[in-house]
Amino acid sequence: MTTPETMAAYTHTEERGGDAYVRKIGREFLVDVYSALRSVKLYPPDNPVVQKAVDEVLRVSEEILSRERELEVRVSGEFIFVNSTRLRLDLDNYASFGRIIAVFRNAGIGLFRVVEASTVRDWLVFLTLLQSPSEGDADQRLVSLAERLAAAEVRAFDLGPPAPEDAEDREKALEAAKRTYAQSLTVTKEVINSVRMGRSPNIKRIKRVVQGIVDQILNEETSLLGLTTLRDYDEYTFTHSVNVCIFAVALGRKLGLTRIQLYDLGLGALMHDIGKARVALEVLNKPGSLSDDEWRSIAAHPWMGVLQLFQMRGKNDIPYRAMIIAFEHHMKTDLTGYPRHRRPRELSIYSKIVAVADAFDAATSRRAYQATPFSPSDALGEMRVNPRRGMDPVLVKAFTSLVGHYPVGTMVVLDTLELALVHSPSASPDAIARPMVQIISDARGNVLFPGVLTDLTERDENGTYRRTIIKISDPDRYGIRISDYFV
Amino acid sequence: MTAPSTAQTLPTTELQPDEPPFAPQLVEELLRQLARAVKTRQLYLPNNPIYQRSVEQLQAAFAPLWERTSELVVQISETEFRWCGVVVHQESAGGESLPWTCYKDGLRELTLLQGVEAGEITVFLDILQRVRKSSPDEDDLLTLLWEQEFEFLRYRFVDLSIDTNLTLEPSEESSREKHLPIVEIAREAEEEPEAERQGIIRMEDLDATLYFLDEEEIQYLRSQVQKEQGSNLHYNVTSILLDIFELQGEDAVRDEVCAIFESFMPQLLMSRDHGTAAYLLREAAEVARRAEDLRPVDRERLARLPESLSAPGVLEQLLQVVEDGDTATSQEDLEALFQELRGGTLGTILGWLGSGRASNAAMRAALEGAAKRLAAANTGQLVALIGSGDAGTALEAIRRAGELRTPAAVAPLARVMAGQLPELRRVAAQALAQIGSPGAMRVLEGVLDDADREIRITAVRAVGIHDYRAALPKVEAVVTGKAVRDADLTEKMACFETFGLLARDEGVEQLAALLSGRSMVLRRRIDPELRACAAMALGKIGSPKALAVLRSAAEDKDVRVRSAINRALRGGDQ
> What CA dihedral angle connects B541, B544, B550 and B555, to 10 degrees?
160
Nearest to A182 among B145, B167, B185 (CB): B167
> HSE-up of B154 (CA within 13 Å, CB side)?
20
Q: Order of strands across the sheet with A469-473?
A: A447-455, A436-441, A419-424, A411-414, A469-473
d(CA B257, CA B238): 10
Which among A205, A207, A315 has the least Cβ separation from residue B135? A315
Chain B hits for A346, Cβ within 8 Å:
227
Does residue B281 surpass a pLDDT of 90? yes
A172-176, A414-418, B202-206: least confidently modelled range = B202-206
% of chain A exceeding 90 in pLDDT:
41
B206-259 pLDDT, tens digit per residue, is: 454 556 778 899 889 989 999 999 999 999 999 999 999 999 989 999 999 999
Mean of per-residue pLDDT scores for chain A: 85
d(CA B260, CA A142): 64
Cβ distance B239 to A343 less than 8 Å, yes or no, reads: yes
CA distance B504 to B464: 11
- The two counts, helices (H) then strands (E), for chain A are 18, 11
Q: Which residues of A touch B12 (CB under 8 A)?
A: none
Chain B interface test: which of A1, A3, A16, A405 (most B C-beta within 10 Å) = A16
CB contact under 8 A, B155 and A16: yes
Using the 8-state DSSP alphabet, how is residue A316 labeled? Answer: S
CA distance B394 to B382: 9
To 10 degrees, what angle do helices B489-503 and B453-465 make? Answer: 30
Question: Does residue A30 surpass a pLDDT of 70?
Answer: yes
Q: Per mean pLDDT, which range of A265-274, A409-418, B159-168, B473-482 is the poorest?
A: B159-168
Q: Which residues of A touch B151 (CB under 8 A)?
A: 17-20
> How many A/B residue pairs have CB atoms within 8 Å?
301
Among the residues of B172-250, which ranges form H helices? 182-191, 215-230, 233-247
CA-nearest of A307, A441, A119 to B240 is: A307
The answer to whether B338 touches B314, Cβ cutoff 8 Å, is: no
Report the distance separating Cα B248 and Cα A56, nearest Å.
61
Phi, psi of B56 (to 5 degrees): -60, -40
Report which of B100, B82, B88 is spatially closest to residue B16, judged by C-alpha positions: B82
* Shortest CA gap B369–chain A (Å): 29
pLDDT digits (tens, 9 = 90+) for B163-209: 666 666 666 665 555 666 665 666 666 666 555 555 554 544 445 45
Predicted confidence at residue B10, as pLDDT, reads 30
Highest mean pLDDT of the ranges A30-39, A399-408, B392-401:
B392-401
Residue A450 reports pLDDT greater than 50:
yes
pLDDT of res. B512: 92
Q: What share of chain A is helix, strand, coil (3-state, %, to 5)?
A: 55, 10, 35
Cα gap B248→B267, rounded to integer Å = 24
Query: b/e map of B282-295 (b: 16 or more CB within 10 Å)?
Result: ebbeebbeebeebe
Partner residue facing B4 (CB), from A19, A300, A349: A19
Nearest to B166 among A2, A186, A343 (CB): A186
Q: Which of B135, B164, B201 sits opposite A12 (nearest CB)?
A: B164
Q: What is the pLDDT, as a whole number, of residue B386? A: 96
Specify the pLDDT at position A7.
32
Chain A residues close to B253, C-beta within 8 Å: 307
Residue of chain B with shortest Cα separation from A345 = B236
The residue among B209, B238, B513 whose CA lies nearest residue A343 is B238
Closest CA to B379 of B355, B410, B352: B410
CB contact under 8 A, B189 and A449: no
Nearest to A180 by CA among B166, B414, B93, B271: B166
Query: What are A236-266's pLDDT values in tens digits?
Result: 889 999 999 999 999 999 888 989 999 999 9
> In the prediction, which pLDDT does A102 show?
79
Range with the poorest average pLDDT among A337-346, B149-158, B319-328: B319-328
The region of weakest confidence among A327-336, A398-407, B3-12, B82-91 is B3-12
Q: What is the DSSP annotation of A77-143?
A: TTEEEETTEEPPP-TTTHHHHHHHHHHHHHTT-SEEEE-S---HHHHHHHHHHHTS--SSSHHHHHH
Contact A405 B186 (CB under 8 A): no
Going by pLDDT thresholds of 50, 70 and 90, the confidence category of residue B574 is very low
Residues of B with Cβ-Cβ distance to A226 under 8 angstroms: none
For residue A14, pLDDT over 80 is answered with no
Q: Do B247 and A227 touch (CB under 8 A)?
A: no
Which residues in chain B have their CB less than 8 angstroms from residue A350's CB? 228
Average pLDDT over residues A212-224: 88
Contact, B535 vs B561, CB < 8 A? Answer: yes
Tell me, what's the pLDDT at B383?
A: 95
The pLDDT, as a whole number, for residue B182 is 61
What is the SS3 assignment for B71?
strand
Q: How far is B279 from chain A (nearest CA, A)?
A: 12
Q: What is the rounded CA–CA span in Å between residue A20 and residue A87?
A: 10
Q: Please report residues of B whose CB lies closer than 8 A to that of A318.
A: 237, 267
Q: Which residues of A touch B187 (CB under 8 A)?
A: none
Least confident of A199-208, B283-292, B451-460: A199-208
pLDDT class for B436, splitting at 50, 70, 90?
A: very high
Strand partners, A81: A74, A86
Residue B160 to residue A9, Cβ atoms within 8 A: yes
**Residues 6+ positions from B518 with CB-CB distance below 8 Å:** B526
Please answer yes or no on whether A405 and B247 come within 8 Å at the CB atom: no
Strands A447-455 and A419-424: unpaired
pLDDT of A17 strictly over 80: no
Mutate: best of A195, A419, A470, partner B, most B CBs <10 A: A470
pLDDT reported for residue B194: 58
CA distance A158 to chain B (A): 22
What is the rounded average pLDDT for all residues in chain B? 86
What is the arithmetic mean of pLDDT over B410-418?
A: 96
Chain B residues inside the 8 Å CB shell of A320: 233-234, 236-237
Q: What is the mean pLDDT of residues B509-521?
A: 81
Q: Do B164 and A484 touch (CB under 8 A)?
A: no
CA B555, distance to chain mean position in Å, is 63
In sequence order, the 6+-apart residues with CB closer than 8 A to the CB of B291 are B246
Query: Residue B49, Cβ neighbours under 10 Å: how many?
Result: 8
Using an 8 Å CB-CB cutoff, list chain B residues near A483.
Answer: 170-171
Minimum Cα–Cα distance from B153: chain A residue = A17
Contacts 24+ apart (CB under 8 A), B551-554: B553/B515, B553/B516
Candidates B139, B185, B228; nearest CB to A350: B228
Q: Determine the Cα–Cα distance for residues B407 and B385; give it in Å rounded to an integer.
A: 15
Nearest C-alpha neighbor of B403 from the set B433, B426, B424:
B433
The answer to whether residues B87 and B97 touch, using CB atoms and an 8 Å cutoff, is no
Partner-chain residue, chosen from B4, B149, B221, that has the shortest CB–CB distance to A394: B221
The answer for residues whose C-beta is within 8 angstroms of residue B25's C-beta and 6 or more apart is none
Dist CA A29 CA A19 (whole Å): 16
Position B25, amino acid: Q
B137–A324 C-beta distance less than 8 A: no
**How far apart are alpha carbons A447 and B289 in whole angstroms?**
70
List of chain B residues whose C-beta atoms are within 8 Å of the C-beta of residue A306: 237, 240-241, 244
Name which of A444, A400, A439 is nearest A419 in CA terms: A439
Whole-angstrom CA distances from A68 to A338, A379, B4, B5 are 55, 47, 10, 6
Q: How many residues does chain A have?
A: 487
Closest residue in chain A to residue B197, using alpha carbons only: A471
Averaged pLDDT, A73-84: 83
B138 vs A15, more confident: B138
Question: Closest Cα of chain B to A69: distance in Å?
Answer: 10
Q: Residues B541-561: what's their mean pLDDT?
A: 92
**CA–CA distance from B237 to each of A305, A335, A480, B35, B234 (Å)?**
12, 16, 45, 42, 5
Give pLDDT tens digits for A269-324. 999 999 999 999 999 888 888 999 999 999 999 999 999 999 886 656 789 999 99
Whether the pLDDT of residue B504 is over 80: the answer is yes
For range B258-283, the mean pLDDT: 92
Residues of B with Cβ-Cβ distance to A202 under 8 angstroms:
137
Q: How far apart are CA B348 and CA B21, in angstroms?
A: 66
Q: Which of B78, B143, B154 shows the shortest C-beta gap to A1?
A: B78
pLDDT above 90 coverage of chain B, percent: 61
Residue type, B497: E
B573 has pLDDT over 80: no
Residue B399, pLDDT score: 95
Does the distance separating the beta carbons of A18 and B1 come in below 8 Å?
yes
Q: In the predicted model, what is the mean pLDDT of residues B72-101? A: 90
Are B153 and A212 a contacting pair at CB < 8 A?
no
Of A23-32, A406-415, B173-182, B364-373, the poorest mean pLDDT is in B173-182
| Cα–Cα distance, B82 to A418 (Å, whole number) | 56
Q: Contact A418/A467 with Cβ under 8 angstroms?
A: yes
pLDDT value at A330 more than 50:
yes
Averaged pLDDT, B322-328: 78
Partners of A424 in beta bridges: A436
For residue B25, count CB atoms less than 10 angstroms from its CB and return exposed for 0-12, middle for 13-18, buried for 19 or more.
exposed
Judge: B199–A410 Cβ closer than 8 Å, yes or no: yes
Quickly state the pLDDT bin for B550 (edges 50, 70, 90). very high
Closest alpha carbon within chain B to A209: B162
Confidence (pLDDT) at B357: 87
Select the residue of A10, A15, A320 nearest B237 (Cβ to Cβ).
A320
Q: In the 8-state DSSP scheme, what is residue A295? A: H
| Section B145-160 average pLDDT | 86
Are residues A223 and A177 in contact, defined by beta-carbon separation less than 8 angstroms? yes
Report the chain B residue with the minimal C-alpha distance to residue A6. B158
Residue, of B419 and A404, whose pLDDT is higher:
B419
Average confidence (pLDDT) over B523-535:
83
B76 - beta bridge partners?
A: B81
Dihedral of CA atoms A349, A351, A353, A359 in degrees, nearest 10, equals -150
Of chain B, the percentage scoring pLDDT greater than 70 comes to 86
pLDDT of residue B19: 75
